[in-house]
């Protein structure tokens, strides 16, 4: 708030501001300092939260890596078991086909005329099927 004084000419002239403006300046300075402190506090809080998040991430990252290693080990074990089972099935199929071949050989030796008749009949059927397309 400014005051006015009257000069000898009768005109009023402004005088220096009163102490209320200096109080406003003090309040602004205090407010600025409070804002700085609040900003520093917010930065410290955010920094602390970021550090905690980083630590949690590192902890979970190690857990995830451990779980992936365990899953890989389990997968390798399952693949090994599947390989063994597939090999056993293959060996069984080979043995069975050998048995069928041996039984067929024995049957042909015991029944040569029947085997010859079946071979001729099979040839005729095959020839008819192949010649139909022409």
Does 42 fall in a domain?
yes
The token pair that represents 72 in the structure block: 């890989």
Does a structural domain hold residue 8?
no
10: in domain: no
Query: What is the value of pTM for the model shown?
Result: 0.43
Residue 96 lies in a domain: yes
pLDDT class of 21 with cuts at 50, 70, 90: confident
Number of H helices, E strands in the chain: 2, 2
Residue 134 located in a structural domain: no
**Total domain count, the chain:** 1
Burial class (CB in 10 A: 0-12, 13-18, 19+), 115: middle
Instruction: Note down the domain range covering 43.
Output: 20-126
Task: Please check whether residue 15 lies inside any domain of the structure.
Answer: no
Largest alpha-carbon pair distance within the chain? 156
pLDDT at 86: 95
Residue 121 falls inside a structural domain: yes
pLDDT, tens only, 38-77: 888 889 899 899 988 888 888 788 888 888 999 999 999 9
Domain assignment present for 73? yes
Alpha-carbon gap, residue 100 to 98, rounded angstroms: 5
Report, in angstroms and rounded to the nearest whole number, the Rg of the chain calculated over CA atoms.
51
């Amino acid at each position: 708030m400014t005051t006015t004084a009257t000069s000898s000419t009768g005109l009023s002239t402004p005088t220096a501001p009163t102490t209320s403006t200096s109080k406003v300046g003090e309040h602004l300075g205090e407010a600025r300092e409070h804002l700085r402190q609040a900003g520093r506090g917010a930065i410290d809080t955010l920094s602390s939260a970021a550090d905690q998040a980083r630590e949690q991430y590192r902890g979970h990252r190690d857990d995830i890596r451990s779980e992936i290693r365990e899953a890989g080990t389990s997968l390798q074990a399952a693949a090994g078991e599947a390989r063994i089972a597939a090999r056993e099935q293959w060996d069984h199929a080979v043995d069975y086909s050998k048995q069928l071949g041996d039984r067929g050989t024995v049957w042909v030796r015991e029944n040569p005329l029947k085997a010859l008749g079946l071979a001729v009949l099979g040839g005729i059927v095959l020839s008819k099927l192949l010649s139909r397309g022409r």
